Amino acid sequence: MDKKHFRPLLLCVLLTIFGAVGCDGAIPTPVTVTEVITFDDGETVIITRVFTPEPTRELPTPIATIFVPEPQVQLDVGVVQTIGPFDPQLRFNDTTDDLIENLYIGLTQLDPNTQTVRPEFAIAWEPKNDGQRWTFTLREDVNWVQASKPSGSFFSREDETDEVPLAVVDVVRRVTAQDVVAAVRRTCDPRTAAADVFVLFIIEGCEAVNGLLQVTDADLAQIGVRAISGNQIEFKLTRPAAWFPAVTTLPAFYPIPSERIADDTLDWLDPEDFVSSGTFVLSPFGNPELELAPLSILQANPLWPVSNNACNRLQDDQQLDKQIEMVNIYQFQSSLDALAIWEDAGLDVMPLPDAAAPRYINSLSAPPLVTNEEVFYLGFNFDSPRFNTPEIRRAFSAAIDREQLIEEVYGMAGRPMGHFTPPGVVHAPPIDQVGIGYSPDYALQQLFLSGYGACPLMGDINYMISASDLALQHAETLIDMWVDELGCLANQFKIEQVQFGTLLANTRATSEAARPDIFDLGWASFYPDAHNWFEPVLHCEMGDNRPNRACSEVDTILSNAAVTLDGDERTQLYRQAENLFFGDGGSYPIAPLYVRGNYRLTQDWITQSPTAYTGGTQFDNWCINQDLKDLERSQ
């Protein structure tokens, strides 16, 4: 029997393999397989086999990766201003300044609570040559970082309860002294067209380079700034300047990534390519196209090397205040649109709209007033026969009710000033400690001592102001006060309204016959030090000296304060100068009136929001009671 040729027939008697194995991984049931083989000669053979299948393991169904972050302590800010490029050397507006302040590390920083210059990138600084050369020692643990979306992340912001995902933050490289050198050179370079570049003319060679039509690398290298090492930088100045550390708080000194700026293949300010060095990074999840999405998002820099203990208020061993981990910037077409969201607890902080100011300012829980560096004053012409004695100038100043002026003309958007340097300026005295201010009895006494005895005997008084309606209302309010307190006649005052440029030109000491008897002007400093108030405005030789007063003891004090390196001694010198100008018996070249300010609507759960009177707002110093915020928003 030839058994080499056969036709196999396979009969399978089995349980379905997949049905025999449980989803819980139980041992599978054995399977019996019977095979009948028939050979060519008709003989059949039956073969039976028993198989035990290998257990199968269930694989999870692949799903899309959704990034679900931990809840963040978030500050929701409403703004109306357009957000500009995050270029520290080019000033755009206040809102952009706030973001730049938090995205870049400063060489130094103004402490808004103590009104002192404190370390930031620089941990120490040392003057040499009586303050004409300064060496700054820098941190070595600050990095340029870049934020990006996590792999597989998804964020729709379909409703306002969605959590903003956390970005991944990667190190690009370390921030070095050379980055500060690049910033200063870029500011001085005329091709940059940097805002307020003249402030840096105190640095050797900066003014000369800024005046060139064609600038080379060799020209920039002549500017008096150089990296001594990776963590030390030296500045050479044109003269001794004890106030130089206050200048280094400016964005002009913020380190910049020069190699990225020079790279033509990328836009260094584009969010896709942007790198930062500050307490916050620019999150990639901001989206101006979605109605409920923030225009820009700042995320706390997880690689920031400096610990901050600003939020440490405890109750029952529980930390009530928490530091900001994310700042959401929402832009609105109208401040009233933002106000509606704020009143519904949808925003934490926003500027108070002018239209709503009376309702909020006069309430029991009035919002805080944030003063800036703009002080407005009444100027006196020392060459005028009517105002050439200090007694008459004291009388006109003390007769001004500054609080009434602010209330009637400026909607309470300011604080009265009895001296010149406002809150937030380094070495400024407390706002209520120096200066006579409003004192009707003192005003009448000084009028009597002036030799006139009665205001009408002074004759006509030429009063020059700018051309705006607000300026006219301001002047008329002061005249009413002089009429009420000093007995002046309203028709004594000849108000002349001129364009602002003409006002500046005609109040210069060299304008002679064009000069008025009195005039309205203001001053906003360029850096937060008392030197930038007294020298450019009141010093008899170094500044404008629009009153055209003669040099005296107070100018010697101001000159000494400019070069005195001991901070406490400088504070005392400037306080002495304030008293000589605006105290009892002061010379009163001007009458300080008020410092301008803006009201900021702030929810109750914002437990600490220090006001940076100069520069941008420092969000890392803000604190939130997150539990209270969550509770209020859930109602």
Question: Taking 90 as the threshold, does the pLDDT of residue 475 lie above it?
Answer: yes
Contact, 35 vs 11, CB < 8 A? yes
pLDDT interval class at 518 (50, 70, 90): very high
Compute the C-alpha angle 157/158/159, nearest 5°: 90
Give the residue-averaged pLDDT of 431-443.
93
pLDDT of residue 39: 52
Window from 1-5, 296-300, 320-324, 371-375 with minimum mean pLDDT:
1-5
pLDDT interval class at 609 (50, 70, 90): low
Q: Quick check: helix, strand or coil at residue 520?
A: strand
Question: Which among 429, 377, 406 is positioned nearest to 588, based on CA atoms?
Answer: 377
Question: Taking 90 as the threshold, does the pLDDT of residue 358 lie above it?
Answer: no
Tell the CATH topology of 74-348+603-634: D-Maltodextrin-Binding Protein; domain 2 (3.40.190)
Length of the chain equals 635
For 369-597, CATH number out of 3.40.50.10470, 3.40.109.40, 1.10.760.10, 3.10.105.10 equals 3.10.105.10
Round to whole Å and give the CA distance between 163 and 157.
8
Round to whole Å and give the CA distance between 286 and 485.
57
Question: Taking 80 as the threshold, does the pLDDT of residue 428 lie above it?
Answer: yes
Question: Taking 80 as the threshold, does the pLDDT of residue 345 lie above it?
Answer: yes
Give the residue-averaged pLDDT of 561-583.
96
Round to whole Å and give the CA distance between 385 and 103.
55
pLDDT of residue 354: 85
Give the residue-averaged pLDDT of 127-150.
94
For the chain, give every residue range classified as CATH 3.10.105.10. 369-597
pLDDT digits (tens, 9 = 90+) for 23-33: 444 455 665 65
Question: Taking 70 as the threshold, does the pLDDT of residue 388 lie above it?
Answer: yes
Residue type for 66, please?
I
Give the residue-averaged pLDDT of 170-175.
94
Residues with Cβ < 8 Å from 368, sequence gap 6 or more?
A: 599, 600, 602, 609, 611
pLDDT digits (tens, 9 = 90+) for 48-64: 555 555 555 554 444 33
For the chain, give every residue range classified as CATH 3.40.190.10. 74-348+603-634
Round to whole Å and give the CA distance between 367 and 422.
20
Which residues are registered as beta bridge partners of 206?
Answer: none
Q: What Rg, from alpha-carbon coordinates, does the chain have?
A: 36
pLDDT digits (tens, 9 = 90+) for 285-339: 876 555 555 678 899 999 999 877 777 655 555 567 888 889 999 888 888 989 9
Give the C-alpha distances (Å, rounded to integers) separating 410 from 219, 403, 415, 492, 524: 48, 10, 10, 25, 17
Question: Which among 494, 499, 514, 495 is positioned nearest to 467, based on CA atoms?
Answer: 499
pLDDT digits (tens, 9 = 90+) for 488-505: 999 999 999 999 999 999
